[in-house]
Amino acid sequence: HKRQLGKLKNTAATTEDEVNIELLGNIESIEDIKQLHKFGADGVGLFRSEFTYLNRDTLPTEDELYAVYTDIVKKLKGKPMTIRTVDLGVDKNPRWFGHSHALNPALGLTGIRLCLAEPVMFRTQMRAILRASAHGPIKMMWPMISSLDEVRQCQTHLQTAKQQLHERDEPFDDAMPVGIMVEIPSAALTINSLLKQVDFISIGTNDLIQYTLAADRGDESVSHLYQPNHPAVLKLLQHVIRAAIKQNKPVSVCGEMAGDEQYTRLLLGMGLRRFSMNPNNLLAVKNRIIHSDTLLLETEVLRLVRNDDPEKARALLKKLNQPAANPT
Ligand code: PEP
Ligand code: MG
């Protein structure tokens, strides 16, 4: 089966009704680029930039970050990359982290909250990303956004970072697209206003599921409650994807759901046209895509999303996936 999927590397990710789908990879370091090329990804949809901040006693410098990002951009040979600004605080606590231990880390000073509390660190990374944008198509993405206030604060820091680079005469792409991750229910529910402030969005289903269902993504004792196909999650997903389509802003899913072929048709039926995943899953998802018809899926998915019964949702999802996509 794996060898047959391998043949799909150079096949376009186009549905039966001729809709083109963008398939991107999630990476954590330069080593992951190999896999990305191996499976024919269109670029990097999520670079988790935490790596450089961990297992060390001091913060990385701007030049150090710039070198890391530039190396990756060069290896991508013109393919686009979305760099997520550092998302620390929950499981990834660097040694230099001076903040007191959180009572409930997932609800504490994580992601963008930590960056906004440490503006010097935040702007240092922003300048490194901006400088790397002189070498290839880079986008910047802010994680764990919960409100418009935070987006405005991020924009202000970005303006300052750009100003600082101007003063130093450093080249960068002044029009570098900026986006947010939608992974907190408050962001999903206010998405129409958030969309107006940004160039694109990416849905982080790993956290969106956790926060919607109040089920820790890493806690086995509640793993039965962590349900990607829970009707509440599906309603949020549909709402966010539709809002983005309506405002003509690119939307992707970059959580595990995007790389799980069980959910490929569901997401296609919701209107999703961009998936970002662990590159290892890319060909299995592509196989689903080329055996799917988005028009047929749309009607089925509407029924699925309207329903509030998890048992029915599971049954309808099973039906949606039949006949199972055959290996090409
Ligand atoms: C997510 O939350 O879905 C996501 C992609 O980010 P991370 O898994 O790094 O929290
Ligand atoms: Mg997340």
Nearest Cα to 140, choosing from 86, 104, 76?
86
Residues 45-52 have a mean pLDDT of 96
Residues 171-195 have a mean pLDDT of 98
Answer whether residue 327 shows pLDDT above 80: no
Q: Is 48 annotated as a binding residue?
A: yes
> What secondary structure does DSSP assign to 150-209, as a single string?
HHHHHHHHHHHHHHHHHHTT----TT--EEEEE-SHHHHHTHHHHHHH-SEEEE-HHHHH
Residues 257-262 have a mean pLDDT of 98
pLDDT at site 65: 98
pLDDT at site 105: 86
Answer whether residue 3 shows pLDDT above 80: no
| Six-digit token string for 122 | 């935040």
Higher-scoring residue by pLDDT: 103, 251: 251
- List strand residue ranges (DSSP E) for 6-119, in order: 22-27, 44-48, 81-84
Q: Which atom of ligand 1 is nearest to 207's Cα? A: 2
pLDDT digits (tens, 9 = 90+) for 49-59: 999 998 888 89
- In a mutational test of the pocket of ligand 1, which residue from 207, 267, 278 has the highest number of ligand atoms less than 8 Å from its CB? 207
pLDDT at site 55: 84
Residues 56-82 have a mean pLDDT of 96
pLDDT at site 89: 80
Q: Is 152 annotated as a binding residue?
A: no
State pTM to two decimals: 0.96
Residue 204 C-alpha to ligand 1 middle, in angstroms? 5
Name which residue sits closest to atom 8 of ligand 1, judged by CA. 206
183 lines ligand 1 (CB under 6 A): yes
Residues 244-268 have a mean pLDDT of 98
Q: Is 84 annotated as a binding residue?
A: yes
Q: Is beta strand 200-203 parallel, antiparallel or unpaired with respect to 178-182?
A: parallel
206 lines ligand 1 (CB under 6 A): yes
Q: How far apart are CA 265 and CA 250, in angstroms?
A: 19
Token pair 């991508």: residue: 76
Q: Which residues are catalytic?
A: 254
Using 50, 70 and 90 to split pLDDT, how confident is the model at 100? low
pLDDT digits (tens, 9 = 90+) for 115-150: 999 999 999 999 999 999 999 999 999 999 999 999
pLDDT at site 208: 98
Answer whether residue 11 shows pLDDT above 70: yes
| Six-digit token string for 21 | 């789908």
Look over the chain and give the mean of its residue pLDDT values, rounded to a whole number: 95
Using 50, 70 and 90 to split pLDDT, how confident is the model at 16? very high
Using 50, 70 and 90 to split pLDDT, how confident is the model at 307? very high
